[in-house]
Chains A and B, each alone.
Chain A
Amino acid sequence: MTIELHTMLHRHGDLLVQPIDDDLVMADIQSGKYFGLTDTARAIWDLLDQPATPAAICDALAESHNVDRATCEHDVLAFLRDLQGEGLVRAAG
């Protein structure tokens, strides 16, 4: 399922998570991969603490980051689709 602006998303997978300074390092035993989330990537991950849509994430980022809406939506969708590809987020329901 392709993630769109109003797709409700939640974190997926039983990850091991460790904050290192301002970054987040995560290990997925099942896939054997480590992930590092920095800056805006970490902010998006933190916003997925509760199920959220990309649109809602962009609303939140617009308040904290100086970015125009179209660029924000484009970049957030691309990032979330990457996370989906890694099995780290899923569409709710």
Chain B
Amino acid sequence: MMQENKLISFHRMLINDAVRTAAYRDAIFATVRPGDVVLDVGSGSGVLALFAAQAGAGHVHCVERHAIIRVARELAEANGFANRISFHQCDIRALELDGPVDLIQSELISKAAIGEQMAELVGWCRDRFLRPGGALLPPSVDMFVAPVELAALAARISLPAFETYGLDFGPLATRNSNAPVSTRIQPEEVIAPGQICYRYDAATAPLTDSFDAALVFEVSEARTLTGFTIWFETELAPGILLGNAPPGTGSWDHLFFALPYPLALTRGDCVELRISGRDDSAMEWLVRWDTRIVRGGIEIAAHRQSTFHGGLPIAERVTAPA
């Protein structure tokens, strides 16, 4: 669990991301109708709940499992909304409400779109508390993936050659290239336009974020492929867009999914990517990316990678058949 001092700095960063915060405020004002009952899932510091109250909600329920909900309560009191916001510090599955809600709002979007169990947490509430015809914010989230050239970062995260220390880092190298790195990617580092690999639809999504996409990126100029990145785009309300396409926003940077080694591409090469993944409480954020580079119809490189191979599986999450 995140230490409280880190929680404060984390939520300060979120609030200070003007792109994020203003977009959510605009969307909440466009969505909330006077008197609405709103459920704010994963409230954090409660800023989105405060916006809902400002927008005229009759009552807002905040549900948050971390102690940061104390800050949300303090902010509600300081802003005169304490009588219209109630606070539930609990796991979402323990939440009990005395009636349906008109709107479920959340910001459970990770830098790679999924990874905060958005589908499971929002879906759980949707299926229990949302009145028929009620609204969900965000209504959908698109997940994009694109090949990138990050030569400096690729060099920085590589391991020492044998000659440096007289040690073979080979076994760590495999884990290293399967462990995504958080970084900030610039538009010019994107080799080909991003393509959608997953669309989360809040109204209909099952309780698992799960995707499996086969994509082809055509290379238009000589570049060096070092890996891939993922970002999200969403239309929070009609005309109110939010996303972290490179260069990202103040609080959302990017994940870099490295290839084992850089690959020189020429114009006309095809980067074939099969990317699949899953995120829920049973299998927290697992992504697999299989890459194939084709030149003139001939395969010149192929890699199979996954975050599973970038980590050390925890024994208690393993269930052996009897």
Q: Which positions in A face B, CB cutoff 8 Å?
A: 16, 18, 20, 25, 27, 29, 32-38, 41, 78-79, 82-83, 85-86, 88
Stretch at the interface among B7-15, B80-88, B97-105, B305-313: B305-313
- Find chain A residues with CB under 8 A from B318 CB: 25, 34-36
| B320 A38 Cβ-Cβ under 8 A | yes
Interface 1/0s, chain B 276-318, versus A by CB < 8 A?
Answer: 1110101100101000000000000000001011001101011
| A20 B322 Cβ-Cβ under 8 A | no
| B312 A20 Cβ-Cβ under 8 A | yes
23 A-B contacts, Cβ less than 8 Å apart?
A16-B286, A16-B288, A16-B306, A16-B309, A18-B309, A18-B313, A27-B283, A27-B308, A27-B313, A29-B210, A29-B277, A29-B278, A33-B283, A34-B319, A35-B319, A36-B315, A36-B318, A36-B319, A37-B321, A78-B322, A79-B321, A86-B321, A88-B321
- Find chain B residues with CB under 8 A from A25 CB: 313, 318
**Chain A CB within 8 A of B208 CB:** yes
Q: Which positions in B face A, CB cutoff 8 Å?
A: 208, 210, 212, 276-278, 280, 282-283, 286, 288, 306, 308-309, 312-313, 315, 317-322
| A32 B288 Cβ-Cβ under 8 A | no
- Find chain A residues with CB under 8 A from B276 CB: 29
Shortest B245–chain A CB gap in Å is 26
Apart from A27-B283, A32-B283, A37-B320, what 18 extra A-B contacts exist at CB < 8 Å?
A16-B286, A16-B288, A16-B309, A18-B313, A25-B318, A27-B286, A29-B210, A32-B282, A33-B282, A34-B283, A34-B319, A35-B319, A36-B313, A37-B321, A41-B320, A79-B321, A85-B321, A86-B321
